[in-house]
Copies of this chain bind each other. A is one copy, B any other.
Amino acid sequence: MARATTLAEVSARAGVSRQTVSNALNAPHKLHPETLRHVRTVIDELGYRPDTRARGLRTRSSGLVGYCLPPHHLGSVNVFLDEFLRALTSEVERSGRHVLLFTAPPDDDGLGVYADLLARSTVDALVLSETRVGDPRHEWLAERDVPFVSFGRTWTGSQVGHWVDVDGARGIAQGVRHLVSHGHQRIGFLGPHEQTPVTEDRARGWREACHEAGLDASDRFLAIGGENHVGGDHLAAKLLDLPHPPTALVAANDALALGAYKLLAARDLRPGVDVAVTGFDDSPSAAVVTPGLTSLRQPVDHIATRVVELLSSDSEPVGELFEPELVIRSSSSQCHSDRTTANSVTADRRTSGRG
């Protein structure tokens, strides 16, 4: 790999001192316009760019924002990792920096990785995601005065540092109101892992929106348990086997919603026609399944923008919730009052195949 042009080479070629070249880059107002123009011409000719390491060494910065890749698992958070990473990378680039990826064990051992990164001055700041209850990273970083922003809450009263998160309760409530407006009166909720605050938050949205509409939101209509992103079919079965089963199922994530699809298929029922279904996250699958799954899209672009803003904010710790956007597809938008005419809808579907 060829050695890159140095500032010294630019200064020699331009016939000015090295400080003048540096000023052309870092403090152009200090230069005579004529000089500035000349130096810039030479810089362009030579394709000169200051060496990141040398500049960083001097300015005590690395220009790198660390992001820990979450471990692989289906569902909730990672379904939009692509999108978040893209948005984060773009935003960080707008501030002239880059994103550095790393991995770390999720437990407390992971802090060793963070310590290493900081001891080496590899990163200037960190973006946290995959937060968990009692996440030790926030306090650990705050104690060391490391700039960081958390995408996700630690769900403890004393969370330190800036954070942004998605308002699960308001998102789910949107979905419930949408279903109510389509005539649904009995709406069930499918959720994973009873103990996680994320699920509790989303379940609360369902409960509150049901109360608001005067609907039953008792535990009868609440199916929770199993793995995090599988078993939606079991949960759906539990609710649909009730004497007066729900006519709509609100799931805490898309994977569970598609589990409900599976149960409906096994019973020859059609999502969106016989039973409405909604998900959460608007994962790629939601758009591509049949019928399309109504889901809640996290505003990752806005979140990423805000994360990067807060990264360089010295203000008092800020916490912000972003409301997800309801993306309506066929799994919920058949009018429920049409249910008695479901057969004609089916006939429609039968003839809709283009020849």
Contact = CB atoms under 8 A, between A and B. Distances in A.
Interface residues of A, number: 81
A133 interface: no
A31 interface: no
A344 to B, nearest CB: 14
Interface string A337-353: 00000000010011011
A1 to B, nearest CB: 5
Interface in A115-165: 115-116, 118-122, 124, 144-147
B53 A258 contact: no
Contacts of A69: 85-86, 89
A267 interface: yes
Contact of A261 (B57, B79, B83, B290): B290
Nearest to A61: B53
B100 A233 contact: no
A28 B118 CA distance: 24
A214 interface: no
Chain B CB count within 10 A is highest, among A52, A147, A291, A355, for A52
Interface string A248-259: 000000110011
Contact of A237 (B5, B116, B353): B353
Nearest to A49: B119
B98 A98 contact: no
A23 interface: no
A47 B53 CA distance: 22
A206 to B, nearest CB: 22
Interface stretch (A169-177, A191-199, A216-224, A281-289): A281-289
Interface in A52-105: 52-54, 56-57, 60, 62-64, 69, 71-72, 74, 78-79, 81-83, 85-86, 89-90, 93, 98-103
Contacts of A100: 64, 98-101
A354 B234 contact: yes
Contact of A101 (B78, B98, B116, B353): B98
Given A99-B101, A120-B49, A290-B265, A82 B89 contact: no
14 contacts: A48-B119, A53-B53, A53-B54, A53-B57, A63-B122, A71-B86, A74-B288, A79-B284, A89-B101, A89-B102, A255-B288, A262-B290, A268-B349, A268-B350
Interface of A: 1-5, 47-54, 56-57, 60, 62-64, 69, 71-72, 74, 78-79, 81-83, 85-86, 89-90, 93, 98-103, 115-116, 118-122, 124, 144-147, 233-234, 237, 241, 254-255, 258-259, 261-263, 265-268, 283-285, 287-291, 346, 349-350, 352-355
CB-based closest 3 A-B pairs: A49-B119, A285-B285, A262-B290
